[in-house]
Amino acid sequence: MTKTSNAELSLTEPTPAPEPAPAPSPEPGPEHEKAVKRCCAAWRRSYNAYMEKSRGTHADKLFAAHQAGPAYCNAMPILAGYENIRDFIACLAHGILIGAIPQSRSGQLLYAAQVALSTVHREPKPPKPTPAK
């Protein structure tokens, strides 16, 4: 039997079970995809507008995709309210995956979403109505 270090032992110890997932939102599906679709449509419009004026070379396609990134970002939801922040993060993640948002900017945007989300949790709750006499 070979000796193992403490570091190797800690890697093989079981991890605690994850917390249960939150209950699904009332309207799952297309309702929550609207923001991502809006961002993709803005990207596509910008890309197509550039390509209409170009010769269609590979370099033109790369430049058109690069120029379409800001249009994608401009279509993202504002960071106000839980649903908008959630949709912003969805757009951000999708934009990173498709290359519309460069990695150099993604950290800033994710941090902005994180800060906005932390303020939502700290908003004062509306006062409870007093019972009528």
> In the structure, what pLDDT confidence band is assigned to residue 128 with cuts at 50, 70 and 90?
confident
Burial class of residue 76 in the structure, from the number of CB atoms within 10 Å of its CB (0-12 exposed, 13-18 middle, 19+ buried): buried
Domain membership of residue 9 (yes or no) is no
Amino acid 32: pLDDT: 64
Asked if residue 4 is part of any domain, the answer here is no
- pLDDT score, position 30: 60
**pTM (2 decimals)?**
0.68
Range of the domain at 114: 32-121
C-alpha atoms less than 13 angstroms from C-alpha of 118 in its C-beta half-sphere: 6
pLDDT mean over 95-118: 95
Q: How far apart are CA 64 and CA 99, in angstroms?
A: 12
Is 94 within a domain? yes
Tally the domains of the chain: 1
Note the pLDDT tens digit of each residue in 3-17: 544 444 444 444 444
In a domain, 68, yes or no: yes
Decide if 54 is inside a domain.
yes
The answer to the question of residue 78 being in a domain is: yes
**Is residue 109, in this structure, part of any structural domain at all?**
yes
Is 77 within a domain?
A: yes
| pLDDT tens sequence across 35-94 | 999 999 999 999 999 999 999 999 999 999 999 999 999 999 999 999 999 999 999 999
Place of tokens 């949709």: 87
